[in-house]
Structure 1
Amino acid sequence: MKARVQVMLKAGVLDPQGEAVRHALRQLGFDGIEGVRQGKVVELDLAETDKAKAEAAVTEMCEKLLANTVIESYSIEVS
């Protein structure tokens, strides 16, 4: 199975990388961008064949390592 984890800063948490991207886009002439949030995507190849077990395992991975749950939220897609 494959899993895709998207990790983003929670609303209200300052995003200096996103702000730098927004500023750079503006410098390149892309007006009208009011905000940018920078995140990360982690793709996993799993040996697990049971979708529910795979989702549970990936959730545990997120809680323990892949996301800092104090300031980040995450979403999981398993296929």
Structure 2
Amino acid sequence: MNRWDVLVEVSPRSEIADPAGTTVERALRALGFSGVSGVRVGKAIRLEVSAADEAEARAVTEHMCERLLANPVIEDARIEVRATVAHESVS
């Protein structure tokens, strides 16, 4: 089994109102960031998945999204899978 670093980005579907995104956009403009538009607020979920290969890690993660991580009626989930890099401890 290999370990895979997975990033799931969940955001409201484009046709769904995003009041948090609207609030952030207005606040940014009030702070002088006039070139900002289309702000969408979502969530990022990082996890490690044990799987034989990248395709299996993606499939498992897609199943997690369907069951818990995202509401497919109102949210989109974007999945990024990378091989886990071994972390060496420094003594």
TM-score for the superposition, normalised by structure 1: 0.90
Structure with greater Cα Rg:
2
Moved more, 3-12 or 47-56: 47-56
Gaps of 5+ in 1: none
Structure with a larger share of its residues in helix:
1
Q: Does 1:52 align with 2:55?
A: yes
Off by >6 Å, runs of 4+ in structure 1: none
Q: Classify the secondary structure of the residue corresponding to 2:6.
A: strand
| 1:14 paired residue number | 17
Q: Classify the secondary structure of the residue corresponding to 1:65.
A: helix
Task: State the shift of 1:76 in Å.
Answer: 0.9
Count of paired positions: 79
Task: State the shift of 1:34 in Å.
Answer: 2.7
Q: Classify the secondary structure of the residue corresponding to 1:46.
A: strand
Moved more, 32-41 or 21-30: 32-41
| 2:85 paired residue number | none
Q: Classify the secondary structure of the residue corresponding to 2:51.
A: coil
Tell me the amino acid that sits aligned with residue 74 of structure 1: A
Structure with a larger share of its residues in strand:
2
Q: Spell out the pairing of 1:2-41 with structure 2 (5 A cutoff).
A: 2-41=5-44
TM-score for the superposition, normalised by structure 2: 0.80
- How large is the RMSD of aligned CA atoms in angstroms? 1.1
Matching residue within 54, 63, 68 for 2:66: 63
Q: Classify the secondary structure of the residue corresponding to 1:4.
A: strand
